Amino acid sequence: MGVRRQGGSNTLVVADRRDDRCADGAWARVAVAGLVLATFGACRSARLVDAQPLAVRNQHPVQLTSLGAHARPARPLAGSDVEFSTDLAWTNLWLRPGQGQDRIELDGELLRITPRLRYGLGEGFEIGFALPFLHSGGGVLDGFVESWHDGFGLPQNERDNFDRDRFAVRVDRQTPSGLRTAWQLDQTTLAVQDAALEFAWFPVGAPRGAAVADQPFSFGLRLGVEAPLGDEDRGFGNGSFDTMVGFVAGYETERLALFAWGGHSFTKAPSIARDTGLRWRDPTMLGFGLEAAVAPSLSFLAQVEWETSLLDELDETHANRDQVLLWTGGRYAFSERSALEFSVGEDLVRSVSPDVTFAFGLRHRW
């Protein structure tokens, strides 16, 4: 139907109903996944192998400029153990401007590759380092997403009113001198983003790879620092050191694991945003997830993460609301130390980008 948001209560009512249908579609896919889980759950030989949440996060391009206390393993590496992993997130962005004197537009695709190294220090202590790389552009998924929406009866939300595979990712701020660019993301083939260093201490919980029958609970504290390696003028970072404090907890049996994580970050807006009087809001996040064994070496995962918006000060109804993302996927364990995971993430809050993310991860522990 393609109704533009030009103000007025009637257009807002129509848009909200459409977005409710998007959220309903996401929950419907969870119901289907649950049916699959129930079907294969009868396999008595199924058991979890190195259970942990999906290594995913919100791919909103503004949120990517800040360090976050996102999902991580709920148990530490054993002393001297090393793990290397690579996570890939392919995201289709779509968000039209809402109401307010400021403005946001997100239309494009991101491909984010995050190599990560973790090292077990022993006695429940662990250190990790991650260096993400970003590709941004018009992409190729617009036609697929429109066909997906048509096939499931979901609204296009103006997608069919614009050219496919275009790129426009920016935030504008109203100032006394007029509307000014407060932040924008440039197109790039591949660019480095801010690097993250994390320390974790687990006073409760057996190390990964150890039997958990006698100690199913785990709990850890986290402290993170992010170094400004990304170019803030091109939107790849915020130009400052971020810090993060958080926690992670888990409960694991042979066939089912439950996870919780959360924390708060202290961040700073890029200079281009500060020049317009806009500050980033320090983000808080909280997540819950589960992993269930459905077949030998194969498990089903689902998790939800809530995150406050960095753009809380922006006078724009589509930018300053909190964000909630749902992830569903699976993990196949090649061995006790190697696994491949795959998932799909969708937003559950009305008029919040990203539209959809396809995530893949590969890890090995020595």
**For tokens 């970003």, what's the residue?**
134
| Spatial separation of the C-alpha atoms in residues 201 and 246, rounded to whole Å | 11
E strands present in the chain? 82-95, 103-122, 125-130, 133-137, 168-175, 178-184, 188-192, 195-204, 217-227, 242-252, 256-266, 284-295, 298-307, 323-333, 338-347, 356-365
Task: Give me the sign of the Cα torsion angle 229, 234, 349, 344.
Answer: negative
| Spatial separation of the C-alpha atoms in residues 220 and 205, rounded to whole Å | 8
Can you give the pTM of this predicted structure?
0.84
The pLDDT tens digits for 141-188 are 767 776 666 666 665 566 666 677 789 899 999 999 999 999 999 999
pLDDT of residue 135: 97
The pLDDT tens digits for 30-69 are 555 555 555 445 567 789 999 999 999 999 999 999 999 9
What is residue 64's three-state secondary structure? helix
Exposure string (b/e) for 79-116, b if CB count within 10 Å is 16 or more? Answer: eebebebebebbbbbbbbbbeeebbbbbbbbbbbbbeb
Give the pLDDT band (50/70/90) at residue 111: very high
| Spatial separation of the C-alpha atoms in residues 60 and 51, rounded to whole Å | 27
Give yes or no for a contact between 243 and 67, defined as CB atoms under 8 angstroms apart. yes
Percent of the chain clearing pLDDT 70 (strictly above): 83
Alpha helices in 268-351 (DSSP H): 271-274
